[in-house]
Amino acid sequence: MMTPWELFDLESAVDARGIKRRYAQLLKQYRPDDDPLAFQRLRDAYEYALEWVGRDQGEGTPEQAAERGIATAVEDHPPLMRTGEQMEQQPSTEEMQVRALPDTCVSLDEALLRARKMQMEEVLQLELLCRCQLPGDRAVEFLRWAKDHLGWLTPWQPDYLPQANMAQLAQRLFEHELSELWQALPAASESELYQRIRDLASQKWMQPLELNGQLQKALIPLLEEYPGGSSDLLGRLSQLFGWSESDGYLPCDADDWEYLVRHYAYTGMWRELQRQLSLPSPLQPKERACWFLLKPMGDGERRKMADCFEAADWAACDYLAREIEERQPYIPERAGVSYFANWRQWRPQEWGGWATLYAFLIVFLVLSVDQAISERWIAKQGLTQGLLLAGVASVMMMLVLHYLWRGWSGLARSLSRLDVWISRFLVPPSLLERGSGLLIVRHVLPALAFAVLVGSWARHLSPGWALAQGAAILAVSLYFLARVTQGASPYAWLVLIRRSLPSLDIYKPILFWILIIVGSVLLSRLIGPDATQSRTLRSEPFNVCARPTHAQQIMDCERAAQMVREALQRRD
């Protein structure tokens, strides 16, 4: 049989403080919820060891005291509870009857009533004191009853009860209450645990500072192991005991308190995430953010969910991601889910305005080139009018394409799952990005339609050049869409140019003088002598042939006269 000293790995001369310290260490190994039998053996050994130290016997060894058991303890305790005069006298028959009342009566209430009728309440209380010091749950029942009905462990207890023994009983009751808290810890709800702690702390026998301080210190390891706690529970307990980090009044050191605060923040957040993940469907932005970041789902389903997100949903994703990545990085592992770290790629980028601008420039360039190579148009209207018409046509086309794009985007959103499934076979994985990148229905088909339309508008190009132009427009459009869907800036080339320039302050004077020179040239062309002569020649075309000034004009006039005569002859 293993003795208490062997179980506690202590020497026989150790005091009560050493036993309690070792018991607190072993209590973390033999938890009541993990191994109740081992915990009960540990508790019995602890009570036997304290019983031996409390009796302070000088004869025998601790091992012999443990083997004597309860029977020896019953014989040893009564003499300690009596005065010297009582020790010299043999107990009378009435005293023997009173001492047997706890066993012969139905309840302790009846035993107390009969003892009072016999005017021997003191004998009964001393007997109860002896029994309360024995090991076992029955002794704890006696102690609790005496606390509630006789005022034990309070300033109102009878004077004939030895203070040293009552202090030991208070310590024993405290440890028993703490043990019951540990046993109820796994199944207790947050409100139940707080209620039990508050009831224990508010009892009169727990008001002494020593016991109250022991309770507060003992709650720290208990709270660290509690699986259902939250920051709200810690705040209520802080208000109950007056814990304050700013005032420096804490039941433990600052590092342990900081760990406990972080632990409860993590626990509360984990419970809230578990509740949100178990919902049949998310309704609030924070619930949708929890689903999007933590719930396992397919790429098509995630694409469809991201398409329905609004600004509040993305803000909730930002907040939850910061909590997970910075404060609670181990929440996903504890929750049994995987954190979707690449969620930011699914956020829609603001590139629609730049896409419209680039499309306008492409259309304007194509139409301008088409007009420039049309000699017939230049001969009739001039290049300036052709460029102006190309610009107006480009603006009108952009308006039409803008509304067509909006309608197509709504259709593509409704086909998100099908779009992701098709793109998985036709788009490289590096561009697809699991559905957040380039998609066939949403991006490739509109780019192809745009290239075909713009290529067909160039009517003065040969078929080969028109095909090459359409292919180039398609390649440029797909490159732009692939970049912006992967999070690249739509105006990255402007940023690159800006970074390559050391400073714009150097070029400001140069640009200013270039503008002055160009403006002066244009102004001279508009109001100068050459411009006046050109306008005169255009307004009076027949004056030139009336007064030719050089040989070329004479030849041109004769050729024109010949053409007029031939036309008149054909008419006749």
d(CA 398, CA 405): 10
Give SS3 for 249: strand
Tokens 């009018």, residue located: 385
Mean pLDDT of 350-363: 79
Q: Return the structure tokens found at 21.
A: 């310290």
Q: 432 falls in which pLDDT band (50, 70, 90)?
A: confident
Nearest alpha carbon to residue 161 among 132, 119, 141: 132
Q: Does an H or E element contain 107, and which?
A: none
Model confidence, pTM: 0.49
Write down the pLDDT at residue 248. Answer: 83
Check if the beta carbon of residue 435 is closer than 8 Å to that of residue 412.
no
Write down the pLDDT at residue 195. Answer: 92
pLDDT at 112 exceeding the cut of 70: yes
pLDDT at 151 exceeding the cut of 70: yes
Give SS3 for 323: helix
Average pLDDT over the chain, rounded to an integer = 75
Judge residue 82's burial from the number of C-beta atoms within 10 Å of its C-beta, 0-12 exposed, 13-18 middle, 19 or more buried.
middle
Q: 65 falls in which pLDDT band (50, 70, 90)?
A: very low
Write down the pLDDT at residue 196. Answer: 92
Write down the pLDDT at residue 13. Answer: 52
Q: Return the structure tokens found at 536.
A: 């005169």
Q: Return the structure tokens found at 364.
A: 């304007």
Mean pLDDT of 126-151: 88
Torsion sign across C-alpha atoms 489, 494, 497, 503 = negative
Question: DSSP assignment of 518-570, as one string?
Answer: HHHHHHHHHHSHHHHHHHHHHH-HHHHHHS--SHHHHHHHHHHHHHHHHHHHH
d(CA 545, CA 527): 25
Per-state percent for the chain, helix, strand, coil, to nearest 5: 75, 0, 25
d(CA 196, CA 182): 11
d(CA 43, CA 41): 5
Greater confidence, 199 or 545? 199
Q: Looking at residue 200, what DSSP letter applies?
A: H
pLDDT at 91 exceeding the cut of 60: no
Greater confidence, 517 or 252? 252
Dump pLDDT digits (tens) for 169-212: 999 999 999 999 998 888 888 889 999 999 999 998 888 888 88
